[in-house]
Amino acid sequence: MPLYLFATFISFIIHAVLIVPFINFLYRIKAQRADQKTKDAFNKSTPIFDKFNKHKAGTPVGGGLLIITVTLSLFLFVLFLFVSFNQPIRTNFPSIAGEILILLFTFMSFGLLGVYDDLTKMFFWRKKGHFGLRLRHKLILETVLGLVIGYWLYASLKIDIIHVPFLGVYHIGVFYILFAAFTIISFANAVNMTDGLDGLATGVLMIALTSFWIIAASIIDVPTSIFIAIWLGGLMAFLYFNIPPARIFLGDTGSLSFGASFAVVGLILGKAFTLPLIGGIFLVEISSSFIQLMSRRFRHKKAFAAAPYHLFLQQRGWEEPKIVMRFWLISILLSVFGLMLAFMK
């Protein structure tokens, strides 16, 4: 455990040193979704969102790119040190390389998808006539990536089980690929939807990841433990500049990558059942948006005044910091409950 804590500390220091120059760089290249001078809307098809976020116009987007780059570099460096000093990299799977590559691929591939979406929103949306990737195109790409990762988990790590506390372990065979893909896609979009208030998604993710870090360390899964430790250090440094009023946003680059990777960590640790508990805030956010979408499509009216749920609370008059802090507290409670179930047979 001291090694993992040291990795978190070093990751925090490196991210903290780099983030201010990175923010200045984003300002120089105008990596923003709206113009600060004209207060142009983020996305004119979402007037309620614009109403509460117009004052954030001009804040640079792209914090996720820094965290992805530094985290992956440090992760590979630490693994290199393990190999160089002949230290055992313990894992519970038949393929150490497979586990490492799955983590790397998920973090990078969904990050690249987010990069394209962010670039479209920042620079090309007026030319294309729509804000970012179209939903159906994004879902198609996410489905392909999810199926690839799901197959990799099944074929390389030989994972085909779901552990349900009190009921036992269920082998679902090849259907695990579809289950894993659905889980990954769901959490990628859930974190993306949660990333609507300063500090909300990052804070909740830190709390939830800490729970999985405890689980990973308890079963001595070295690759995943190191990955989470370094990732947490980056999130801590980012959160310092992301709490209200935010100086930088994650962007889809970070939210899609982090949501998918969060799901993969849960799947690797065999805690798919506790994912909806430990990541309960994300589940509420995406569920409210899904219900709203289905209601508008089939009932031709809204189920809520606004969605996702944090936007509904803003519409009801809740101030942004109150929503963020209370969601953090709820996330802590959900994580404690999820950890309790995770350690039950």
Q: Provide the β-strand partners of residue 168.
A: 164
Q: Which residue has the higher pLDDT, 48 or 265?
A: 265
* In the predicted structure, residue 345 carries a pLDDT above the cut 70: no
Q: Which residue has the higher pLDDT, 154 or 300?
A: 154
Q: Which residues contact 92 (CB under 8 A, 6 or more apart)?
A: 219, 220, 221
Task: Tally Cβ neighbours within 10 Å of residue 112.
Answer: 17
* Helices 96-119, 135-155: crossing angle, 10 deg rounding: 170
pLDDT at residue 132, rounded to an integer:
65
Instruction: Answer whether 210's CB lies under 8 Å from 233's CB.
Output: no
The count of residues in the chain is 345
Rounded to whole angstroms, the Cα distance separating 266 from 253 reads 20
Q: With a cut of 90, say whether residue 141 has pLDDT above it.
A: yes
Main-chain dihedrals φ then ψ at residue 165, nearest 5 degrees: -55, 140
Given a cut of 80, whether residue 187 has pLDDT beyond it is: yes
**CB neighbours of 152 closer than 8 A, spacing ≥ 6?**
98, 101, 102, 105
Higher pLDDT, 48 or 184: 184
Nearest residue to 189 (alpha-carbon basis) of 130, 255, 253? 255
Indicate whether 45 pLDDT > 60: no
Positive or negative torsion for Cα 313, 187, 260, 218: positive
- Give 261's strand partners: none
Summarize pLDDT for 59-76 with one digit per residue, the tens: 999 999 999 999 999 999
Each domain of the chain, given as residue ranges in start order, spans 2-342
Confidence at residue 304, expressed as pLDDT on a 0 to 100 scale: 87
Per-residue pLDDT of 93-105, as tens digits, reads 988 999 999 999 9
Q: What is the mean pLDDT of the chain?
A: 90
Residues 224 and 171: their CA atoms lie apart, in Å, by 23
Pure H helices in 120-199: 125-128, 135-155, 175-194
The predicted-structure confidence for 188-243, as pLDDT tens digits, reads as follows 999 999 999 999 999 999 999 999 999 999 998 999 999 999 999 999 999 999 99
pLDDT confidence tier of residue 37, bands split at 50, 70 and 90:
very low
| Residues 199, 242 contacting (CB under 8 angstroms) | yes
Q: Nearest Cα to 110, choosing from 66, 58, 65, 50?
A: 65
At 34, the pLDDT band (50, 70, 90 cuts) reads low
Contact 149, 180 (CB under 8 A): yes
